[in-house]
Structure 1
Amino acid sequence: MATGGALFLFSREQATVPIEQGYGPDPILPEPNPTLIPTVNIATAAQWPEGSMPIAASGFAVNEFAGGLDHPRWLHVLPNGDVLVAESDAPPKPDQGFSLRGWVMDLFERQAGAKVPSANRISPLRDQDGDGVAEITQPFLTGLNSPFGMTLLDGKLYVANADAIVAFPYQEGATEITAAAEKIVDLPAGRNHHWTKDVIASRDGAKLYATVGSNSNVGENGMDEEVNRAAVHEIDLATRQMRLFASGLRNPNGLSWNPVTGELWVVVNERDELGSDLVPDYMTSVRDGGFYGWPYSYFGQHVDERVEPQKPELVAKAIKPDYALGPHTASLGLAFNQGDLFGAAFKNGAFVGQHGSWNRKPRSGYKVIFLPFTAGKPSGPPQDVLAGFLSPDDKAYGRPVGVVVDRKGALLVADDVGNKIWRVVPAR
């Protein structure tokens, strides 16, 4: 393909294992198949045609909850039923000189609908008349720095910016906050290879937990750049002290409390450029002090030979994730369903937003799935809930990111390419 006078050659490598076999507690993990030219297969971003929307699976119905947003990434439901949406994209990268790989990846990320100027705001969505459509959408918080995760605790709204967790006073029903930010802790930033930071409060309200993604694919920028990254951190609110809670998690997001076991769970984007069949993204419980392999190994003790020097002592104790979510699906959103709207089969299971692949042929993700849980553990194959984000000519009308269950039990899905929030309920 020729672009801007430059010629790009693409790998012909493609998947040999059916995508379904890349899911579950014991996914198929074939031998790595790295190629000199990485597999690039991004769906070009396109607008939803007038009146069109994603396709709900049998037994579900979907409608547009809110539109006209600016790269909506993450959602948070407030006690009064209002829904906060973080409209955000990556912060500007510091000048680090030219690299061919970086230039190519920036080009294709723009093709995929990313690399837009960040709106840097949070907006409230309010469905006043209960018809499943938000009537109020207006700026709620502005002047943020690539905001993502949000959590409300004891009259304060905590926001995870790309470089810090900040807090604002919140009054129920407010549609705007004008108070200055209170910095809680700084978070590792810099190259911003993975800029999204999620945050959640502990059940007792004494602590926050925050995610920080890696600064690279597999440490190619040097492990000095990865200090306190690829990790979940614990923040003590009384002392403002932060400690490493779990590590070896390449790009964790979607922090959620398992409603049955009380464990902290997260979804993780795994590494790229080992071929279309590797490595599966995953969801897992997060243990205090646990190490999950990145960059030295994946899915337990499968060593990534690209990483030098290796650390066999770390690989030996790498925890195998609970459940694989398919290679390159870019699973980002995670929400446990505690409501009754979808019926008993969906109680305490998990909805997952899969943003969609760039490094796989054929493409994977670009949908929302449901995973049933029994006794606090995944207990069955994934079920498609919302698909149809790819057009008949293989463009991306949308890409799902954050997922939440609202106060009425409906599923809300942030679509950062379509600039909409979709609402999914059982079909009548």
Structure 2
Amino acid sequence: MSSSFSGLFFFALVGVASPCGAADTPTFHDAPAAASSLRNPYAGQASAAAAGRDLYAKNCASCHGLSGQGTGNIPALAHGPAQQASDGALFWFITQGAPMDGMPAWGALPAQQRWQIVSYLKTLPTAKPVAVAQNEAIASSVTTPPPTPPFTDFRYEIPGKVRKITLADLPAPYATASAGNAPTMVARPADVMPKAPAGFRVNLYADSLGEPRVIRTAPNGDIFLAESGSGQIRVFRGMTADGKPRQTAVFATHLRRPYGIAFYPNGADPQWVYVGDTDEVLRFPYRNGDLKARGKAEHVADLPHGEGHWTRDLAFSRDNKTLFVAVGSASNVNDPDVSPAEKNRADILAFHPDGTGQRVYAWGIRNPSGIAIDPQNGQLWTTVNERDGLGDNLVPDYITSVREGGFYGWPWWYMGPHQDPRHAGKHPELKDKVITPDVILQPHNASLQIAFYEANRFPKEYHGDLFAAEHGSWNKATRVGYEVIRIPRHHTSKASGEYEDFLTGFVLPNGQVWGRPVSLTVAPDGSLLVTDDGSNTIWRVDYVGAGQ
């Protein structure tokens, strides 16, 4: 966003004087020094924070979350840079917005109300979640028009439904307006469960977890879980007759938003558990059967730090020579040529297992939230959150095999030779180098994690297929995603472009959301485990027979 907001205009707008001691270097969204040094005239006033709470509930919570926890590409406000910023910098950003990143400018609000919002934001670390009044659209059934195929929304997601989106289906940029429609989260009703295809049964595997994100199966069959909100790695062992773990333990604590988990070396006897911990890769000494780390975390490699996508997924090449680390962009469409924060982001990085030898393996991948190695041939795959702001049906998320040295478009191009109009005329030499992904998904459905199904418990046609967790949209007129999908590969090493709804039902008929799938792993018995950070649970999907 622009930082050319002049001091004269700024002071005229806010109507308050600036004290001495302005910071020399802007630290929050390029806020100018004069803005950063502004004093909040309502700072410390409980009445101002209370008024700001109501304004936040009305104007901000639908995107930033009831507790300021963030959602989708929207950063958290309850912690991180927003809490470290000065009141003046926050006020400036609320006033200016960042249209390219989906943040509207709120300059039309009276200055007093903007300051009140700032006052409330500073209470978020200890404040209770705001209560957002249900409007008529939420309280009643969703009545928006049906989507035009092949695009869809939650109302038409049905287990077993096959879909395919091609380049010919893509609309022009700005064919529709971009939406702000973050989910209203509610508790799961007692009579509601995820829906799976006929012959599959779903049960609750574990609950009351601390933001369960990435889940992985260790070579010995233990299940490792990154609880990103709690900053810890948990382990589950065994399976009871009713599909629950026999034992659970905390493997490691005091981590900073852990996400990716990988065991090294590949094979039956790993010696380390690697963890992607936002700013770095760590590893813990490990032996099969450890329920608690047998030593302190060892630093392996630094990773790009900053705002934007914080997840860092990990995978090792089949020959154990390369550690792949997925690093999402710091923004929606900022140009890396002029945005230092984008250095080594929107990439899949590669390292030696000891953290040396960093290089870019593939680039132009806005947010490769999940990566996985095909166990059949060692091919790297990823699932990607694409950019926002071009309309309801642009730009699609995708799942694809990854070519070494491959360029996937972000931020100048997308889906092959389609130029983002916000970067018109830039990098024409890259137009013919943009790789079209293998599987085009619904736009804005926030595809987060993938897993290969190599077990034999599901019907034989599932063997070798990919499953993917679609966390769900925050910026589509009628929400989409909030499901697990299957990528059929028809017993080959490739995907032919279609995908299938597999596990649905996380959105209620009125549009409220109770669950958000994040990650998947295949349990030792061949069932599929799915993390859900909307209800802080893990679901187990088992095949019990076509007649059940």
Instruction: Tell me which interval the TM-score lies in, with the shorter structure as reference length.
Output: 0.7 to 0.9
2:427 to 311, 329, 345: 311
Q: What residue is the counterpart of 1:331 in the other structure?
A: 447
Q: Percent identity?
A: 40
Q: Give the match's secondary structure for 1:43.
A: coil
CA contact (8 A) 1:219 1:307 kept: no
Cα deviation, residue 261, structure 1: 4.1
1:260 and 1:75 mapped to 2: Cα distance? Answer: 21
Match of 1:4 in 2: 54
CA distance in 2, matches of 1:152, 1:25: 36
Tell me the residue number matched to 1:321: 437
- Displacement of 1:4 in angstroms is 2.1
Tell me the CA shift for residue 137 of structure 1.
2.6
Per the alignment, in what secondary structure is the counterpart of residue 358 of structure 2? Answer: strand
The answer as to whether partners of 2:300 and 2:354 remain within 8 angstroms in 1 is no
For each residue in 1:384-410, what CA deviation from the matched residue of structure 2 results, as whole angstroms up to 9, or x when unmatched?
221110123321111001011122211
* Whole-angstrom distance in 1 between the partners of 2:237 and 2:300: 28
Are 2:82 and 1:82 aligned?
Answer: no
Q: CA RMSD in A?
A: 2.6
For the Cα contact (< 8 Å) 1:353–1:369, is it kept in 2? Answer: yes
Q: Which residue matches 1:382? A: 499
| Letter aligned with residue 148 of structure 2 | V
Task: Identify which of 253, 257, 265 aligns with 1:142.
Answer: 253
| 2-structure distance, mates of 1:158, 1:123 | 14
Whether contact under 8 Å (2:439, 2:497) holds in the other structure is: no
- Counterparts of 1:148 and 1:5 in 2: how far apart (Å)? 33
Using structure 1 for the length normalisation, give the TM-score: 0.86
Q: Deviations over 1:37-64 (max 9, x none)?
A: 7411122111223464212222211001
**1:400 aligns with one of 514, 517, 542:** 517
Q: Normalized per residue, which structure has more helix?
A: 2
Residue 225 of structure 1 aligns to a residue whose secondary structure is: helix
3-state SS of paired residue (1:183): strand
TM-score, normalised via structure 2 length: 0.68
Contact 2:282–2:300 (CA under 8 A) maintained in structure 1? yes
2:149 maps to which of 18, 32, 49: 18
Tell me by how many angstroms 1:308 deviates.
Answer: 6.0
The separation in 2 between residues aligned to 1:213 and 1:291, in whole angstroms, is 14
Residues 256, 239 of structure 1: alpha-carbon distance in 2 compared, 3 angstrom cutoff: closer
Q: Any residues of structure 2 matched to 1:145-224 within 5 Å, and which?
A: 145-153=256-264, 154-177=270-293, 179-191=295-307, 193-219=308-334, 222-224=338-340
CA contact (8 A) 1:270 1:328 kept: yes
**Match of 1:108?**
none
Partner of 1:61: 201
Cα shift at 1:145: 1.1
Verify: 1:419 aligned to 2:536, yes or no: yes
Q: Tell me the SS of whatever aligns to 1:306.
A: helix
| CA positional deviation for 1:294 | 0.2
Measured in 1, the distance between the counterparts of 2:409 and 2:486 equals 26
Alpha-carbon distance in structure 1 between the residues aligned to 2:298 and 2:371: 22
Considering fraction of residues, name the structure with more strand.
1
> Could you give the per-residue CA deviations for residues 167-226 of structure 1, whole angstroms, max 9, x where no partner exists?
1011211211152111111111112x1000100111111221010000000016953221
Q: Secondary structure at the match of 1:138?
A: strand
Taking a change above 3 Å as real, the CA distance of residues 239 and 208 of structure 1, as seen in their structure-2 partners, is: closer
Q: Which has the higher contact order (CA 8 A, sep 6+)?
A: 1
CA deviation string 1:73-125 (max 9, x = no partner): 1101012211111111xxxxxxxxxxxxxxxxxxxxxxxxxxxxx31111011
Partner Cα separation in structure 2 for residue 285 and residue 27 of structure 1: 21
The number of residue pairs the alignment matches comes to: 396
Cα distance, 1:66–1:16 mapped onto 2, change above 3 Å: closer
* Displacement after TM superposition at 1:239 (Å): 6.6
Deviations 1:341-380 (CA, angstroms, capped at 9, x unpaired): 1122111111110000011122110000111103211236
The residue correspondences of 1:217-296 to structure 2 (distance < 5 A) are 217-219=332-334, 222-237=338-353, 240-296=356-412
> For residue 55 of structure 2, what is the amino acid of its counterpart?
G
Shift of 1:130: 5.4
Letter in 2 for 1:123: R
Structure 1 pair 144–49 and aligned structure 2 pair: CA distance change class (3 A): same
Distance 1:25 1:338 in 2: 28
Please give the secondary structure, in 2, of the residue aligned with 1:383: strand
Residue type at the aligned position of 1:298? Y
From the superposition, tell whether residues 391 and 232 of structure 1 become closer, same or farther in structure 2 (CA, over 3 Å): same
